[in-house]
Structure 1
Amino acid sequence: MSGVTLYALTGAALVGTGFFGLIAARHLLRRVLAFNLIGSGLFVYLGAAGARGGEADPVPQALIITGIVVALSASALAVGLIVALARARGRAMLPEEDVGG
């Protein structure tokens, strides 16, 4: 197994774990962390895809750097909104859903 394949599989595992956390978690901060895990997995996978020819391609590297900056700012905005919601409601959890009628 080559290093590129290992990075691609690691990225896929991070995306899968983050997707599970995004669906399973009710606490909003855990959902933000799961969303960041998905983004990190995509960055790792994109970096592996950019290194296929033996020499690194600068376009995926630029996309990764830009994505990291956007993910950081979106995470800061999400945490700020969660803090404001927690102050207003007293908790940072999603409400219980009534499944039965």
Structure 2
Amino acid sequence: MTSGATVFGLCAAVAVGLGLYGLITNPQPLRKIIAFNVLGSGVFLLFGVVGRRGAAAGIGNDPVPQALVITGVVVAFAATALAIALLLRLFQKTGTTTLCSDVRPSACSDPSGD
């Protein structure tokens, strides 16, 4: 029989693994942002499991991992909002959400003529 901390720990490992896989394999920036958020959620879940393990031993909840998770969620939200705003600005300026990877300068010219 497995404990709740073990199940949550395994879910955290799966979320971190999926996030890393998405960051490495997806070339689209929006998918990378989503994969980064999945990875962060796995880390937050892992910190929550670490903080809860002390309560299972009768010690009581450790407030430090809880404070780290709350702070991390706020920072992740702000970073995601900034990344999406930059991605929207890139789309407005170039008409695409990918950066030019071609070496020729004429291939990277602005399609709108600005």
User: TM-score normalized by structure 1?
Assistant: 0.90
Q: Secondary structure, in 3 states, of the residue corresponding to 1:92?
A: coil
Task: Give the residue type in structure 2 aligned to 1:52.
Answer: R
Aligned residue pairs, count: 98
Matching residue of 1:33: 34
Moved more, 20-29 or 49-58: 49-58
Off by >3 Å, runs of 4+ in structure 1: 94-98
- Partners of 2:11 and 2:51 lie apart in 1 by 15
Percent identity (aligned): 46
Contact 1:12–1:41, Cα closer than 8 Å, also in 2:
yes
Cα distance between partner residues in 1 of 2:21 and 2:62: 31
Larger Rg: 2
* Gapped regions of structure 2 (runs ≥ 5): 104-114
Residue 93 of structure 1 deviates from its aligned partner by 2.5
Deviation at 1:95, TM superposition (A): 4.3
One-letter code of the match for 1:16? G
Relative contact order, CA 8 A, sep 6+: which one is greater? 1
For 1:46 and 1:62, the matched residues in 2 are separated by 10
The corresponding residue for 1:68 is 73
Contact 1:8 1:48 in 2 (8 A): yes
Match of 2:83 among 78, 84, 94: 78
